[in-house]
Structure formats: C-alpha cells, structure tokens
Chains A and B, each alone.
Chain A
Amino acid sequence: MSSLKFLTRDVKIPLRRLFAVMLLFSNTLAAFYIFHYYLLDLMFKQIGADSFYFFVARMLFLSLAVSSGIIGSLIVERVDQRKFLWSWLFFGLLVTVSLVFFVGLEFALFSCAMLGVSMGLGFPTCQAFLTESTTVEERGRVAGIAIFVAFAAVVLSFVLADSFNMGLSSLIWAIILLKATSFLALKIDPCRREKGPTLPWLSVVVSKGFLSFALPWLIFHLANGILVFGSLSSEFANVEALGSTVELFGTILTVVVAGFAADFFGRKQPLLVGLIMLGISYIFFGLVATPESYFIYLIVEGVAWGLIAVTYMQVILGDLSAASGSKEKFFVLGGIMIPLLTFQIFSLVQDWSKLTVPASTLSRFLSIAILLSVVPVFRASETLPESKMRERKLKQHVEKVRKLVEESRKGE
C-alpha cells in the first residue's frame, strides 16, 4: 500500500470539506445528467407529447440554465454564499418535488424551465466551492473524484430504477434524494467564502489564459455537434444505443485518471492527450466509416471527453479563477455557455443541418480542426504553477534517493 502513497501526496483538503464538495458538486452534476439526458425524454414520452414539445422543453431548460447562470454569478458576488446556497437548494428541491405531484404538458414545460433556472443559478457556485476548497496541487484529483462520484450516482440511479421497475418516478426520486442530501453539505461545512476582487465579464473573456483554453473547448463541442447532429446519428443509429453506454463508461473511467494526471503532470498534458486522441479517432473514422469503427470512435470520444471535461471544465477554470471573487463567471462562460449553447444551437438547426456529406468525409475535415485546436493549448501557460511541479519533483527525488540510502544500509 505504501507504494500507492504518492496518490495522496499534497492532499490537504479536510475530509469534512471533501464530503461537502461531493454533496454539493457531485449531487448537482448527477442531478443535471439524469434530468437532461434521461428524465426529460421519459417525461415527454409518458405524457405522449409531440416531439416538438420535447424540443421546446429542452430549449427552455438550456436557455434558462445559461441566462440564470449569468444572473446567479452576479447575485453570488453580492450576497453571502451560504445563504445563496440555502435558497438555491431549497428552490431546486421544491421544483423537483413538484414533479411527483403535478402532471400534464404545461406543467412539464414549466418544470423544465424552472429546473434550467435551478441548474444555471447554482452549479457554477458548486464549481466555485470545489475550487476554493482545494489547493492547486490537489484540485485535479478532487475534481476527478467528484465527477466520478457524480457519474457513479447516475449509474446507481439507473440500476435502482431498473431493479424496482419504477421508470420515471424512480428517477425523479433519485434527483430528489440527490438534492435533499445536498443540504447536508451546509450542515457539515460553513460553505462561506472570503470575498475577493470581482471581475467584469469582459475581463474574464479577454484574459489570455481563458481564451487559450476556451478555444479548443469550443472547437471540441462544435466538431462533436457537427458530426453527431449533422450526420452520424442518422447513419449509425443501430450502434448508437450501445455505443453511448460504452462512451459513458469510457468517460467514467477516465475522469479519475484525468484528475490525477492534471495534478501530477500539469493541466495541459491530459487536455492535449484528449484532443490528440479525439483528432486521431476522427481521422480513423474518416478512413474507415463502418458501424464497428463508429463504435471505436465512441469509446475514444468517451475517454477524450473524460480527459478534456475534467481538465478544462473544473481544473483549468478553477485555476484561472482561484484568486478572483468572480469564480462563477469563469464557470458560466466556460462550463455552461460553451457546452450548452453549442448543444442548443445544434438542436435548433438539426433538422435542416442533416448534411448530405457522408460522415467519413466530415470526420476527416473535423479532425484537422480538432488537431489544430491543440495549438493554443501548447502556447498557453500551464495553470499548475511550475514551482509546485518542481517542488513535487524534488519530493519524489527525495523519496527515490532515500530508498537508495535504505538499500545501501541493508546491504552493509
């Protein structure tokens, strides 16, 4: 076991704080994932509503998540964080509980809108909470584990829902449970923040570090959107269901590795590996466009998504915003606006965007964009400070040298 001690090197976060981070961050991420990717679809299928209403509901959810994210980040700069989290958790729980008691299309649309508001208002603050709870040396690992816990909660919810054969209501109860237990975070931790200097939106956007990392993240989402909405899902619908499950598992297994890699090797490495992997998988798929290669592409995409999402969405944005009193603005811009708006745009245009270009040709072109997106990452400054990496390297050196000394003593 002692050989695995290096995994917890420089971990300073107290256990209570870590637990509070899990309860706030992981639970919120899990609730979002269950709702956006599964519950929403199930709700509208159960109502028997037209696909148009499902589309409207999703649009409401996404647009209100983005706009309330902007509003939430402004509010939290001015109010006590603990009070903000209390109100936000209470609001989210109330909206979710109402799903159990009210039915009907109008209410489903209304609750989608309210859940979008809830998600946008509070999730950036949960991300900011993870950032301020961690030092730069441990942020990657804590983020990786927190995201892993969120995905594990998602999988567990599905397994339980499947076991009890409760379908929609079990997923609603799973979200209620996640939101209710989030209150415990406020019980075990003060969840208060030192107010730091606030930044206007423009300063966040134009800051060099932000743009250098946001650009490949945007390209990643655009490429994925063009390929998936543009042609892929229609061409390979038969492997889509199984492929998506495998993709999810690829992501789940990678998030922890990504977090550890971000702490041990720096933030840029897992990001670059993720982007290069994705670029190569696009080329591969571009050359051999078969259901099998699509399946492989989905696995690689899952792994790449795990590497990129953890490193960018939580670790790099956390590093860039750590000293600022406007952490939420970084998370809203990078973590909410870019992925949700691109998803929204592609959902909006998906009917006319069904391209006549074959997926393989599209994939070859997109691989160029993905591979080019590594350039700004190469040029960007590492957000894990060089001094911390040097310090860690020296500590590792001490351990290696001490082992030699011990061996030499034993040999006497």
Chain B
Amino acid sequence: MAVFVNGVIFEGVDTAAPDCWRLEAYMARGGYQALKKILDNKIPQEDVIAEVKNSGLRGRGGAGFPTGLKWSFMPRSFPGDKYVVCNTDEGEPGTFKDRDIIVYNPHALIEGMIIAGYAMGCKAGYNYIHGEIFEAYELFEEALDEARKAGLLGQNILGTDFSFDLFAHHGYGAYICGEETALLESLEGKKGQPRFKPPFPASFGLYGKPTTINNTESFASVPFIIRDGGQKFLEAGKPNNGGTKLFSISGHVNRPGNYEIPLGTPFATLLEMAGGMKDGKKLKAVIPGGSSAPVLPGEVMMELTMDYDSISKAGSMLGSGAVIVMNEDVCMVKALERLAYFYHEESCGQCTPCREGTGWLYKVIHRIANGEGRDGDLELLESVGNNMAGRTICALADAAVFPVRSFTKHFRNEFEHLITHKKALVDHKWC
C-alpha cells in the first residue's frame, strides 16, 4: 500500500526510493538537526518539554492525551533508572500507519525517542513492535545499528555527556499488548496483561521504574517540533489539535493508504485524496478512528473535519486515525459480527466483565447475523454492554462495546430486520 504524504513526518520522504529509510537519506532531509540543536545549545530539559507542550501534539495512539503534559509527569529528580517506551504494537483493525513510519522513516522515530530520553532524563528506551510485522522490525534494528555506528545512540552522544540507548523488541501479535501497561508486562517477559492503574507508568512503569510510553507517530513528530518550533507544528493543524496526522484509509475507496494531512482537514477532502468511493458506490458508514471508535453514518462524516474535537463532538473518536470506509453493500450486522469476534478473541481475559462480556456480545451478534436472533436481543446487547463499559482494568472492554452501541444505534433497522425476518436487509458483498 503506497503512502501518500504531505506533512511533518513524511515531508520529503520518497517512499518509492528503496533507501529512503536510511540514515543518509534522513540526514539529507534535515534529520537529527533537532537533536544537534538541543545538544549544541544545551537546551534545558524543561524547555524541550515546554516546546512539545506548545506544539499542541496529542498522543497519536488513540487517547489523544497531550504529549508534552505526559512528559512533564515524569519525576525529573528521580535518582534511579527511567525509561521511554515506544508503542509500535499497532494492532487495532484498520490502523497501519506506525508500520509505515518505521519502514520508510525510522530515524524520525529514533530521533524523537532520543529527544524524549533527553527531556525526561532516561538512559534507555525500548520500541515494542507488533509481532506480525517482522520485516519492519528487522529493518528497524538495522536503522538502530546505523544510529549507533554514527554515534547518535549509546555513550556520549555526538561527543556530549548525554548517553542514551535504544532497543527494539517484537511482540507476538496480541492486540492487548498495545495497551501500554500490558506492553510493559510483555516487555518484562511476562504475559501481556494490563496492569491496574494507579499507579501509572510515570511512577511505576517498566521494571517498576518511571516510564513514559508514547505512540510511534507521537515520537516521530517530535524532531519537527524541536527543529522548527512548536508554534509551527501547532499552526500546521488547528488550535488544540496541533500538527498534521497520519490517517490510514481502508475499505471501499479507490486508493487506500496512509495520508498525512493537517488536523482539521475536511473528511470530504481526505476521501477525495483517497480517490473517492470505489466503483462510484454510495458512502454508507465510516469508522473514523480505528475499530474501537463508534461508527458514524456517511452523511454525518461528510460534514466533519478530521481532528479530535470535531469527531468527538459527533460522538465518535479520532482514535488512532484509522478511517474505515464502508459502502452501501455492507451489511452492518455482518460488519459488527466481525468486530465483535475480534474483541472476543483479543480480550486478555483477566476482568470478569470483559472476559465474559466480549464472548456474550459476539455470540448474540453471531446468532442475529445467522438469522437466529430473538426478540429482546438488542436490549440484551445494550444491557450487557452497559455492564462492561467502564467496569474493567483497561479500555478494551469499552472498545468492544462502542461498536456495538453505535452500530445498533445508527443502523438499528438492519438489526431489527434480521431478527424479525431472519434475513439480512442488505445483501452483504465482501469486497
């Protein structure tokens, strides 16, 4: 899938060039200048964090938490080890942007993490990479080697007294390992299961030490912010929604792929960039922020701009920026059945409501989709979902419930039709 770019991370990256990911190419694009700037000018840690705050960068992993603020939670005077950890466990259905960052521009991430390490006083960092993108992991290891050989990682970076090393680690493909504390458990060699919070990673993270976890895209945005200033980043987007953002468009469009565009760009524009609807079919529905985000009807989406505030006002989430486009041939019951199956399969199983509820939801939806729905099933789904959401250790239970609520709300007639007539309203066509 090609990358169509136009923003701070992919600026100047020729994804068609086989060596675009190499250190040399990155340097030629102005890479590592941000790091040099910090080290040459001995910019104080607080100023680096302030710059990130000014940029309005919000976490690109799904929750949209302001990155600078998160960095400021790290106890700066803590005497022992502290860690920065990058989350490249991209497992959310629909999301495939982080993979492209480490395949086409890994040094942006490496530089961003070094800067984060500097700002928060960490000596080591880890990048946890999804287990199903093994080639990307191997390539990232090579990029790390390049950086080490060039004196950008390790002891006395660029001859200064700042030392920082970065290691890559690949998981085995469990979605839950993308949840930050499950990721830490897995990184420690344990079963990937979320931890109860508090304590939060900033006080009790990797190996019990203060740790900051950010998404790949969040870190990769940092070199630009430091090099060109937070203000410039902010201005690239819109207030409270600074910068550009990668959107992974999939589904019934002509040119699926990653698009890096300013936050605040109308959805209609994005759809157009992606070549519009495939075969000229009608837009039916969009999941604007990855499988965990509530689905929105097509006509609602066409009025929205692609940023945190606008999507959230419409009742969904920008999430990870995975835009799943569905046309009129999609049976929404079948689509939901597939999503419910995913969460049923991926719940880590520790919390009662999630372990039991995800299975229950799936089984009921599966029954409905197979023409075995019963009166009261929709109320049952709602009630089971209510008993799950907000009652668990991590947000996976909520993520499993949001699609159920939104699908049955916006496309209730399809569910009711199937329950009553034992036959789908829309003759589902797999594309």
A and B are partners in one complex rather than unrelated chains: no
